[in-house]
Structure 1
Amino acid sequence: MALAVLDCAHFAAGECRSCTWLGRAYDDQVAAKEASARALVDAPGMRWLPPVTSPPAGFRNKAKMVVAGTAATPTLGILGPDGAGVDLRDCALHTPGIVAALPVLAELVRRADLTPYDVASASPVRQRGELKHLLVTESPDGELMVRLVVRSTAIEARVRKHLPWLRASLPAVRVVTLNVQPEHRAVLEGDREVVLTDDDTLPMRLGAVALHLRPRSFFQTNTPVATALYAEAAQWVAAIGPRRVVDLYCGVGGFALHLVAPGRRVSGIEISADAVASAERSRAEAGLPSAAVDFVAGDATAPEHAGLLAEADLVVVNPPRRGLGTDLARRLEETGAAHLLYSSCNPETLARDLADLVSYRPVRGRLFDMFPQTGHAEVLVLLERTAQRSE
């Protein structure tokens, strides 16, 4: 029997259409995603494991809330077609901890008199208001990272003044920052982060591994499914037994740290220096030596990493939605790696990349429903080399 459709008053009223598949029963959503992934990626002899499902609600560990209205009566959610704020504090997708935190954060806006940014004031001389977004992340331990995206640091003193009240009212808060985004354009966050608390990372404990998230670090939005994804990858890699692993796009070390094993060396490459610092901290806390797993800050597609790739028995790739692209696929073709482990949030670009990886064939795949109520999904695919590289 199909699971019931998730009820959402905001969707029914036409206020929010972010969950494009909300009108479909959850098990039908999963079946449709798997069918689409198989149609794009399937190959002769490939084995598909049953999909990893998610709770259909209460799974999203990060809230990205536009702040609108006034300081006295703010809305936290999205902007409607008329530019007015639509309050989504009760969004059913967010974890219970985030849902409980949002009213307290709305009260912080009121107490500290944090005027929401007016998106209608386009020119610099007319720009009004300071607070653009509230970004809230919850860890598996129930701790929170709260980021206030602001036009400038003009409100920093007011936020600092009310931090004791916030921490007393919301004890789960571990990290609070101001992210400065001065430009008048549709950009979620800026390059400058002002940390207001002693702690500057949020530990995400996934089994035996704790990944430290800094404010601008990427992490999967669905913690239970991300935990299953890393565990599955570790099982597949254990069955292969590679001695040298290179993890491109390693982020804060999710795959790399889960793939450490006796007799194996793992290297992660990540363009964000902050993410590399987080990965190194997680490695140190886990008691792992750099000889077992090391991290390099740099562009995964840069030619200077050719030496690392040449050593690899297994290459892990977890690219952005745009995929690997022809140039990196060609470089992977030129390596001697016997296997590739590809984690994709976009099966369409995955299929395109597989067409470029002509020396490899997919042998195993599994869908991870990271994004219920939408058509998006994560797909993990193991590829094995079927042809030797040409010299």
Structure 2
Amino acid sequence: MSFIVNQNDRLTVYVEDLTHDGSGVAKVEGYPLFIHGALPGEEVEVQVGKTLKNYGFARLLNVVTSSPERIDAPCHVFEQCGGCQLQHLSYEGQLLQKQKQVRDVMDRIAKLPDVPVHPVKGMQDPWRYRNKSQIPFSERNGEVVAGFYRSRSHHIVDTDVCIIQSEEADELMATLKREMLIHGVDAYNERTHRGMLRHLVVRKGQATGEIMVVLVTSKKKFPQRDAIVAVIKRVLPEVTSIMQNVNGEKTNVIFGNETICLYGKSVIIDTIGDIQFEISARSFYQVNPAQTEVLYRHALEYAELSGNETVIDAYCGIGTISLFLAQQAKEVYGVEIVPQAIEDAKRNAELNGITNAYFEAGASEDVIPKWYEQGKRFDVLVVDPPRKGCDEKLLQTILKYKPKRVVYVSCNPGTLARDLRMLEDGGYRTKEVQPVDMFPQSSHVECVALIELE
């Protein structure tokens, strides 16, 4: 490289692109610099920070020429908090960037330049959409702090308001910070491992209005428990469930293994479409039900069910997609590696009176071949894997048994593109990809891809 970028250099650069985590990308004679807070189309002044062999990082000092899509972020802690990455970009600009992100990986990783990537399905109101808040509490200089972690750290950015979570969560977070001191409840200190309250978790059924509050404590014995329960009921008289989860481990994991009901029911109910779901303190459930319905409707459309098909739902979780599919399929078989999720899925099927959905705990790559060996045959396979994508053994299983249609629901466009390439090399063809904005103001985007056997 003819031009050497050195630490602490001050440069004026042109921002060409955004990374998958929302940082601007500028190139200095081919050398990429990642710049938090910069937007494509901007000329910016930066100071170079860390430099590596193939790329470096720079701090935004000044926007010389601003993007027409730049706006003032409405959140007062946006620049410190790691929860959102794109509040400074107009919502229309966010949707365009997310479509571009998916298009880029389809071209670069999947090698599928001709596959249609449709415009991103966005929200009419992209605020206050989260039905679950996980709020860490701690102590700083004798005061209780609570809010959200700074990006790539465990430093809590103290705040009373988060405009992508429910107003109920905001109100309870602010009140507890005050009332904990009054009632002598210590916040947990990650460094010393002392203190009682580790996290406040608030879950809300968006369709039903039911609210669950979970107090994650470091010890089971919680002397001020009744006083804090009374505070919660006063602040949120509509609360239907108050739980205590005990986590005494020296860990970053939020939940421990023991959960105790302090008030009301141990579950709340929410609906996606016309399917009801029971949600417990530790259940996995999509945090944006309105957009989840959009996502699942597209998965159902791509499955092209007439009522005669037998369908596999790999990575089925608590049965959210399975129960959608079961309404239009002959039979649905769901598989999930977490046994508790399978128990939740069976209970949710019973709750909705659905009798043609069957669930089994285990790894998809082990259970699906067993089903084939038992003589079962499948027309459609739906996958909704974690961010790391499908297990390679599962992809090999798909290529071996060749269901005629695969519907791939993805929370990571990069691993989706990688897996599509493997399926394409095995005889499948990707027909189209529909991105859906499940997390407005963040850089994340989910997709549904339709894949058919040639």
User: TM-score band (shorter)?
Assistant: 0.7 to 0.9
In the alignment of these two chains, the number of paired residues is: 375
CA distance in structure 2 between the aligned counterparts of 1:366 and 1:360, rounded to whole angstroms: 18
Rounded Cα–Cα distance in structure 1 between residues aligned with 2:295 and 2:234 = 36
Which residue of the partner structure matches residue 126 of structure 2?
A: 56
Letter in 2 for 1:16: C
Counterparts of 1:149-298 in structure 2, within 5 Å, are 149-155=216-222, 157-160=223-226, 162-238=228-304, 243-261=309-327, 264-289=330-355, 292-298=356-362
Aligned-partner Cα distance in 2 for 1:263–1:343: 18
SS where residue 97 of structure 1 aligns?
helix
| Alignment pair present for 1:35 and 2:104 | no
Give 1:253 deviation, angstroms: 1.0
What per-residue deviation string (whole Å, max 9, x for no partner) do you get for residues 87-139 of structure 1? 23311111233333433444563455321111221xxxxx3212111111111
1:144 shift after superposition: 1.5
**Secondary structure in 2 aligned to 1:259?**
helix
Matched, 1:94 2:198: no
- Can you list the C-alpha shifts for 1:267-288, whole angstroms capped at 9, x where unaligned? 1112223222222222122122
TM-score (norm 2): 0.75
1:7 aligns with 2:74: yes
Once residues 273 and 112 of structure 1 are traced to their aligned partners in structure 2, the CA distance between those partners, rounded to angstroms, is 39
Structure number, greater radius of gyration: 2
Aligned residue for 1:334, secondary structure, equals helix
What does the per-residue CA deviation read over 1:52-83, in whole Å, with 9 as the maximum and x for residues that have no partner? 10233211221111112379953221356997
133 and 41 in structure 1: CA distance in 2 versus 1, 3 angstrom threshold: same
Deviations 1:29-61 (A, max 9, x none): 111111121222364664444321023321122
Structure 1 contact 148–178 (Cα < 8 Å) conserved: yes
CA distance in 1, matches of 2:416, 2:308: 23
Paired residue type of 2:145: T
**C-alpha RMSD over aligned residues:** 2.7
Q: Is the 8 A contact 2:71 2:88 kept in 1?
A: no
Contact 1:70–1:116 (CA under 8 A) maintained in structure 2:
no
Q: What amino acid is aligned across from residue 234 of structure 1 in structure 2?
A: L
Contact kept in structure 2, 1:71 and 1:113, CA below 8 Å: no
Aligned to 1:362: 430
Comparing 141-150 and 367-376, the one that deviates more: 141-150
Q: Give the aligned partner of residue 305 of structure 1.
A: 368
- Which consecutive unaligned segments of at least 5 residues does structure 1 have? 122-126, 387-391
Q: Secondary structure at the match of 2:185?
A: coil
For the residues of structure 1 that align with 2:363 and 2:224, how far apart are their CA atoms? 39
Aligned twin of 2:404: 338
Bigger relative contact order, structure 1 or 2, given CA contacts below 8 A and separation 6+? 1
Conserved 8 A contact 1:271-1:299:
yes
TM-score of the aligned structures, taking structure 1 as reference length? 0.87
Query: Alpha-carbon deviations, 1:168-189, whole Å to 9, x = none?
Result: 4413322222222222232222
Q: How many percent identity over aligned positions?
A: 27
Secondary structure, aligned partner of 1:24:
coil
Measured in 1, the distance between the counterparts of 2:242 and 2:103 equals: 42
Query: In the aligned structure 1, how far is the partner of 2:346 from the partner of 2:409?
Result: 22
Gaps spanning 5+ residues in structure 2: where? 1-67
What is the match of residue 74 of structure 1? Answer: 144
Q: Which structure shows the bigger proportion of residues in strand conformation? A: 2
Q: Do 2:407 and 2:449's aligned partners in 1 also have CA atoms closer than 8 Å?
A: yes
